[in-house]
Every structure is written in structure tokens, then in C-alpha cells.
């Protein structure tokens, strides 16, 4: 831009004067504070501009209200999202906490059951796999011969207050073992009713009923009532011995009926203590061999 020398000087003079005036006012203001001439000027300026500021405030009030309303909605939306997020997180933590509590309860029960075994040694393991089809009633656990597990060792699982028989080992490798559950039709266990020395028979999977066991070969003369507890009998003779130690809980009697084919024995339905669909931890018992 083409400027004359005088204009340049004038510009510099104006800017210099304004800067000097600003510095002077600033110095006065800093020294005098709200009292004195500078404070008086400020109060006068406020009294002059106050009505206009009020008008501006009132004129822009609807816009301010609209803005606040919009930002309030956005804030409320954000708060809702945060609450939902927290709720989801809390729910996840609650589930995790419940799982931990369940696991602690299971392990406590297992420990308690272990203490009731007396001299019978045991080794704990976890379930690696559960048979994915209904054709098999087996589980695979993460302990094998290297942990002392052998074929036909009984396997128990923790229940709410103790432990319960779930099956026996049928295959074993150094690191894993396959357990056939009581629900398998090929699995028989010598069992008796607690408190009835003569009530000894064989327990196996009930035919036609999923998840129910059947205690058979109990003479009609022996009294067995509902809610009686069925445990392993653990017989032992000179030549033969049961794989299962006596006294391992199996289930509770739910119904007693006569046998239609022989007429001499009872058919007793037993609901197992163990939840076969949800076994996570087991104890493999090592009876004296």
C-alpha cells in the first residue's frame, strides 16, 4: 500500500499515544485499585452501560434459554449413556462376583468333603471337557496317571454342603482322565440307603428319565422312605472289593415303587446330589489298592 511519510508518522503517533494512555491507565488502576479516579470511571462506565447490558441480556435470553435447553438435553443424554454404561459394568462385576462366590463355595465344599474321607487319598482336578452329545455321559479331567489317577478310581464332585459321587475313571493318560458318569447306562454302583443296613442294591441310570438314578435289588421287606439318602455301599469280600469306598453320598430317594417283573424287590428313584450338567471341579479318590 502506498502511504505518505506523514501518514506513517501519524499512524505511529496514534498507536504510540494509545499505548501510552493504556499504560498510564493501567498504572493508575493498579496503584489506586477500585478507589480514586480510575474506580470512579469504572463505576460510571458500568452505570452507563448497565441498561444496555440489561437489554442485551433480555434480548438474548430466549437464545440463551434455547441453548441451555439443548445443552441440557445433550447433557441428560450423556448422563443416561453413562448410567447405562455403569449399570452394564456393575452387572458384569456382579456376575463375576457371583461366579467367584460360587467357586469359593464349591471349593469349600470340596475341602470339607475331602476332610471327611479319612484315610482315603484324593487328588483334585478340573473338568476340561464335557461330552457334547447325549450319546456319551463322560467328562475329561485335567489330571492323569502322573497325579496318581488310575482306571476305576471313583470321582466325586462338590455339592452345596459336601460332595457326591459322579462316576469313575475309565481311561487315563499321564495328564488327563476320562470319567464315565453315573448317568451312563453301563455304569453300576453298589449302593445302600443310609440308616438301613439291609438296604443294599445296585444304582444305575434310570431308563427313560434323564438325570434320574434308579436303586434296584432292594428287597420289599426293607423299609425305604422318600428323602432317604443313598450312599455307596463299598462291599468287600475275600476275592472282590468295590471300587467305591463306603459312605460316599449319591442322591436322595424321591419315590419308591414295587417291581413289576419280579415282585420281590423295590424300584427306588434317586435324584443325584451332583449337578451333572455343571461339573467344574472333581476329586479323584485313590482307594487302597
Partner 1 sequence: MILDGVKIGLCVFVLAILEVAATPQLTPFGGGPDLIIILVVALALWRGMEAAAIAGFAGGLLLDAMTFEHLGMQSLVYVGCAWAIATYANRREAGPGMLEPPPPRALPWLVIGATAAQFGNLVMHVLLGDHPAAGILFWHQIAPAILQTTLLGLLFLPLLRRIFRPSQALSRVPRIATA
Q: Is 14 in the site for partner 1 (CB under 8 A)?
A: yes
Query: CA 185, 191, 192, 193: dihedral to nearest 10 degrees?
Result: -60
* Closer residue to partner 1 in complex, CB, 47/133: 47
**Burial of 231 per CB tally in 10 Å (0-12, 13-18, 19+):** buried
* Closer residue to partner 1 in complex, CB, 10/121: 10
The piece of 23-31, 149-157, 174-182, 219-227 that touches partner 1 (CB under 8 A) is 23-31
> How many residues sit in the footprint of partner 1 (CB under 8 A)?
37
Query: Which cell is 67 given?
Result: 441453548
Longest dimension (CA), the chain: 134
The piece of 52-60, 114-122, 217-225, 264-272 that touches partner 1 (CB under 8 A) is 52-60
The piece of 11-19, 95-103, 185-193, 255-263 that touches partner 1 (CB under 8 A) is 11-19
- For residue 250, the SS3 value is strand
Q: Is 49 in the site for partner 1 (CB under 8 A)?
A: yes
CB of 79 to partner 1, least distance (A): 16
* Closer residue to partner 1 in complex, CB, 31/289: 31
Q: Is 165 in the site for partner 1 (CB under 8 A)?
A: no
* Closer residue to partner 1 in complex, CB, 67/90: 67
Contact 231, 250 (CB under 8 A): yes
Q: Is 1 in the site for partner 1 (CB under 8 A)?
A: yes
Closest CA to 154 of 128, 190, 130: 190
Site string for partner 1, 94-123 (x = CB under 8 A): ------------------------------
Closest CA to 288 of 241, 231, 252, 222: 241
Contact 17, 25 (CB under 8 A): no
* Closer residue to partner 1 in complex, CB, 66/104: 66
Q: Which of 26, 86, 95, 221 binds partner 1 (CB under 8 A)?
A: 26
Q: Is 79 in the site for partner 1 (CB under 8 A)?
A: no
DSSP 273: S
Q: Which of 4, 5, 6, 46 binds partner 1 (CB under 8 A)?
A: 46
Distance, in Å, from the CA atom of 276 to the CA atom of 137, rounded to the nearest integer, reads 9
DSSP 147: G
DSSP 241: B
Q: Is the dihedral angle over the CA atoms 11, 15, 18, 20 positive or is it negative?
A: negative
Distance, in Å, from the CA atom of 145 to the CA atom of 177, rounded to the nearest integer, reads 8
Question: Using CB under 8 A as the criterion, which residues of the chain lie in contact with partner 1 when the complex forms?
Answer: 1-2, 10-11, 14-15, 18-19, 21-30, 34, 38, 41-42, 45-46, 49, 52-54, 56-57, 59-60, 63-64, 67-68, 71
Amino acid at each position: 500500500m502506498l502511504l505518505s511519510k506523514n501518514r506513517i508518522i501519524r499512524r505511529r503517533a496514534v498507536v504510540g499515544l494509545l499505548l501510552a494512555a493504556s499504560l498510564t491507565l493501567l498504572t493508575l488502576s493498579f496503584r489506586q485499585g477500585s478507589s480514586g479516579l480510575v474506580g470512579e470511571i469504572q463505576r460510571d462506565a458500568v452505570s452507563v452501560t448497565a441498561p444496555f447490558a440489561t437489554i442485551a441480556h433480555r434480548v438474548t435470553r430466549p437464545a440463551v434459554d434455547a441453548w441451555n435447553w439443548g445443552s441440557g438435553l445433550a447433557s441428560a443424554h450423556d448422563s443416561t449413556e453413562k448410567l447405562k454404561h455403569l449399570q452394564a459394568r456393575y452387572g458384569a462385576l456382579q456376575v463375576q462376583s457371583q461366579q467367584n462366590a460360587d467357586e469359593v463355595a464349591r471349593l469349600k465344599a470340596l475341602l470339607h468333603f475331602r476332610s471327611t474321607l479319612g484315610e482315603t487319598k484324593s487328588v483334585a482336578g478340573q473338568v476340561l471337557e464335557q461330552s457334547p452329545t447325549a450319546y456319551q455321559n463322560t467328562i475329561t479331567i485335567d489330571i492323569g496317571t502322573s497325579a496318581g489317577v488310575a482306571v476305576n478310581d471313583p470321582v466325586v464332585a462338590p455339592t452345596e454342603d459336601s460332595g457326591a459321587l459322579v462316576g469313575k475313571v475309565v481311561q487315563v493318560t499321564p495328564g488327563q482322565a476320562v470319567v464315565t458318569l453315573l448317568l451312563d447306562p453301563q455304569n453300576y454302583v453298589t449302593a445302600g440307603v443310609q440308616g438301613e443296613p439291609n438296604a443294599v442294591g445296585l444304582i444305575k441310570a434310570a431308563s427313560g428319565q434323564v438325570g434320574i438314578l434308579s436303586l434296584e435289588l432292594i428287597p420289599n421287606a426293607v423299609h425305604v422312605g422318600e428323602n432317604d439318602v443313598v450312599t455307596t455301599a463299598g462291599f468287600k469280600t475275600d476275592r472282590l472289593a468295590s471300587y467305591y469306598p463306603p459312605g460316599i453320598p449319591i442322591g436322595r430317594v424321591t419315590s419308591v415303587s414295587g417291581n413289576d417283573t419280579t415282585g420281590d424287590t423295590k424300584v427306588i428313584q434317586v435324584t443325584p446330589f451332583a449337578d451333572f450338567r455343571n461339573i467344574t471341579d472333581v476329586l479323584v479318590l485313590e482307594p487302597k489298592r
